[in-house]
């Protein structure tokens, strides 16, 4: 389901936007328009969707338009043209009263600078948005305490911002945004002011929190590693335009332009490519009802030396090696159950290649890719990992 839709959004800074818009439509660049009209293009015609429950990362270097864009979503900056929809309601057509209600109830925002009130306690800071909504004090306090617990700050309610580290202050900002229980979180360079160690911890906290609360998050960053780590999808911007959008893997493995290729060239692809990317179709499998002769025949026909065993629901039970099946036949055994190796390594589709390679180096079996119910989705052999990494280095 689409939660946010942005259609051909344009923002011109200056008192003669019409002149800039005309040149923009004719294909002039941001620099050319500034030189000819003295009008600055903040956003030059951007379109994208945000799906419910996903983290969409908008990234780019300084001046790319990413922070202008996120402020247009809640109209802290008024777009020059284009349309924005949230839950199919046109934000760009809302009255100030409707817009105020949208901000108070559906949108939470977390800034790079923590924007905490130094004279208020942690709990009072978190209650602020609820206070604006005229929520009664008892319920305000209850929601604030719950939000602080969500971000790991239970017990810090009575402290003041000056008594907290930078990472803790940012958690207070996040708790304040969560306290109003918004559908959407807008996070503008939220972790950029933190030192690298705390920044990584906050990224991990956000992902863990998202697993629990399932918000729709638009996250702004200039850090590619951060975008790759937390983004379900990435919108990459340059000079007010979108140059590519897609999953982190899409962008890293299939850069759309030379600019994108340069942007991503130093990323360690082994930490981004996943099991889903390199897994192969399972092909032939064995079932618990099969005997050793049937299992060995299946392997011979398929030209393989091992075979995964599944039950009738396609849930993996283990693996049988060709030599074990042959030995069982010589012993006159009729059931495959006695020769299943049940220590089969299993991974989920999102497991990065860097982990897969380590697992395969330490074992002699192919890797089984399974879903949350242990149903067999695919198989990974060492050659497919090497081929994927080689494909990136040759591109």
Examine residue 280 and state whether it is found in any structural domain, yes or no. Answer: yes
- Lookup: tokens for 194: 């933190």
Give the pLDDT confidence score for residue 114 in this predicted structure: 65
Q: Are residues 199 and 318 in the same domain?
A: no
Give the pLDDT confidence score for residue 267 in this predicted structure: 76
| pLDDT, mean over the chain | 88
Of 240, 267, 294, which residue constitutes the final position of a domain? 267
pLDDT in tens, 8-65: 999 999 998 999 999 999 989 899 999 999 999 999 999 999 999 999 999 998 889 9
- CATH of residue 31's domain is 3.40.50.300
Examine residue 168 and state whether it is found in any structural domain, yes or no. Answer: no
394 pLDDT band, cuts 50/70/90, is very low
Q: Are residues 83 and 200 in the same domain?
A: yes
Give the pLDDT confidence score for residue 329 in this predicted structure: 93
378 forms beta bridges with: 369
Count, in order, helices (H) and strands (E) of the chain: 16, 16
pLDDT in tens, 259-299: 998 888 877 776 677 888 888 888 899 999 999 999 999 99
Examine residue 365 and state whether it is found in any structural domain, yes or no. Answer: yes
Place of tokens 């042959």: 326
The rounded percent of the chain whose pLDDT value lies above 70 is 96
Please say whether the dihedral angle defined by the alpha carbons of residues 203, 205, 210 and 211, taken in this order, is positive or negative: positive
Cα–Cα distance measured from residue 244 to residue 266, given in angstroms and rounded to the nearest whole number: 18
Examine residue 153 and state whether it is found in any structural domain, yes or no. Answer: no
59 forms beta bridges with: 221, 236
Q: Looking at the 3D structure of the chain, how many domains does it have?
A: 2
Q: Which helix (H) or strand (E) holds 326?
A: helix 322-331
Range in 50-64, 114-128, 186-200 the model is least confident about? 186-200
User: Between 392 and 280, where is the model more confident?
Assistant: 280
Q: Are residues 247 and 341 in the same domain?
A: no
Contact between 46 and 6 (Cβ < 8 Å): yes
Place of tokens 């689409």: 2
The yes-or-no verdict on residue 384 having pLDDT over 60 is: yes
Examine residue 147 and state whether it is found in any structural domain, yes or no. Answer: no
Q: Are residues 239 and 282 in the same domain?
A: no
- CATH of residue 315's domain is 3.10.580.10
What are the angstrom distances between the C-alpha of 6 and each of 49, 53, 118, 324?
Answer: 6, 17, 36, 59
Of 267, 286, 306, which residue constitutes the final position of a domain? 267
Q: Are residues 256 and 353 in the same domain?
A: no
pLDDT in tens, 126-165: 998 888 888 898 998 999 999 898 888 889 999 998 898 8
> Phi-psi category of 160—alpha, beta or left, where left has phi over 0 and alpha has psi -120 to 50?
beta
Give the pLDDT confidence score for residue 43 in this predicted structure: 95
Which parts of 165-271 fold into alpha helices (H)? 166-179, 196-213, 224-230, 248-253, 258-264
Closest to 325 in 3D by CA, of 346, 309, 347, 344: 309
Q: Are residues 324 and 199 in the same domain?
A: no
Contact between 222 and 61 (Cβ < 8 Å): yes
pLDDT in tens, 101-114: 898 888 888 877 76
Examine residue 215 and state whether it is found in any structural domain, yes or no. Answer: yes
Domain that holds residue 315: 276-394
pLDDT in tens, 55-94: 999 999 888 999 999 999 999 999 999 999 999 899 999 9
Q: Are residues 253 and 382 in the same domain?
A: no
- Lookup: tokens for 227: 């975008």
Residues whose CB falls within 8 Å of the CB of residue 362, separated by 6 or more in sequence, listed in order:
none
Q: Are residues 12 and 78 in the same domain?
A: yes
Q: Are residues 241 and 379 in the same domain?
A: no
pLDDT in tens, 217-263: 999 999 888 898 899 999 999 999 999 999 988 888 889 999 998 88
Torsion of CA 318, 323, 328, 329, to 10 degrees: 130
pLDDT in tens, 341-381: 988 889 998 888 878 877 777 667 888 999 988 899 999 88
Cα–Cα distance measured from residue 289 to residue 270, given in angstroms and rounded to the nearest whole number: 39
Examine residue 347 and state whether it is found in any structural domain, yes or no. Answer: yes
Q: Are residues 281 and 236 in the same domain?
A: no
Contact between 10 and 79 (Cβ < 8 Å): yes
Please say whether the dihedral angle defined by the alpha carbons of residues 99, 1, 70 and 23, taken in this order, is positive or negative: negative
Q: Are residues 79 and 211 in the same domain?
A: yes
Cα–Cα distance measured from residue 183 to residue 12, given in angstroms and rounded to the nearest whole number: 29
Q: How many residues does the chain have?
A: 395
Closest to 67 in 3D by CA, of 247, 294, 221: 221
pLDDT in tens, 304-320: 899 999 999 999 999 99
The DSSP code for 27 is T
Q: Are residues 245 and 283 in the same domain?
A: no
Half-sphere exposure of 339 (CA within 13 A, CB side): 29
- Lookup: tokens for 199: 């920044």
Of 219, 243, 267, which residue constitutes the final position of a domain? 267
Examine residue 361 and state whether it is found in any structural domain, yes or no. Answer: yes
């Amino acid at each position: 389901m689409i939660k946010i839709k942005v259609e051909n959004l344009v923002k011109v800074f200056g008192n003669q936007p019409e002149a800039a818009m005309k040149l923009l439509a004719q294909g002039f660049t941001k620099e050319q328009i500034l030189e000819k009209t003295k009008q600055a293009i903040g956003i030059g015609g951007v379109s994208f969707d945000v799906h419910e429950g996903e983290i969409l990362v908008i990234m780019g270097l300084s001046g790319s338009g990413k922070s202008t864009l996120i402020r247009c979503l809640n109209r802290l900056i008024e777009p020059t043209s284009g349309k924005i929809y949230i839950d199919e309601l046109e934000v760009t057509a809302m009255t100030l009263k409707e817009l105020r209600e949208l901000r108070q109830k559906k949108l939470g925002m977390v800034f790079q600078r923590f924007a905490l009130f130094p004279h208020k306690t942690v709990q009072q800071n978190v209650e602020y948005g609820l206070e604006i909504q005229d929520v009664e004090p008892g319920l305000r306090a209850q929601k604030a305490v719950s939000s602080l617990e969500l971000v790991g700050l239970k017990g810090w309610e009575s402290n003041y911002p000056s008594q907290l580290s930078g990472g803790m202050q940012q958690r207070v900002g996040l708790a304040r945004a969560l306290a109003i229980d918004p559908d959407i979180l807008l996070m503008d360079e939220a972790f950029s002011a933190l030192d690298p160690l705390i920044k990584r911890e906050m990224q991990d906290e956000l992902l863990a929190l998202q697993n629990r609360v399932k918000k729709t998050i638009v996250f702004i960053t200039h850090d590619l590693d951060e975008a790759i780590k937390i983004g379900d999808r990435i919108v990459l911007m340059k000079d007010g335009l979108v140059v590519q959008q897609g999953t982190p893997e899409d962008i890293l493995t299939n850069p759309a332009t030379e600019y994108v290729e340069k942007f991503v060239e130093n990323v360690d692809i082994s930490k981004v490519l996943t099991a889903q990317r390199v897994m192969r179709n399972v092909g032939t499998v064995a079932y618990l009802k099969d005997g050793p002769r049937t299992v060995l025949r299946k392997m011979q026909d398929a030209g393989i030396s091992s075979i995964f065993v599944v039950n009738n629901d396609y849930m993996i039970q283990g693996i049988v090696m060709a030599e074990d099946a042959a030995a069982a036949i010589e012993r006159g055994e009729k059931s495959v159950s006695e020769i299943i190796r049940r220590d089969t390594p299993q991974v989920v589709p999102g497991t990065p290649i860097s982990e897969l390679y380590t697992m395969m180096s330490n074992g002699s079996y192919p890797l089984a890719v399974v879903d949350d119910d242990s149903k067999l989705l695919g198989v990974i052999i060492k050659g497919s990992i090497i081929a994927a990494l080689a494909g990136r280095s040759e591109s």
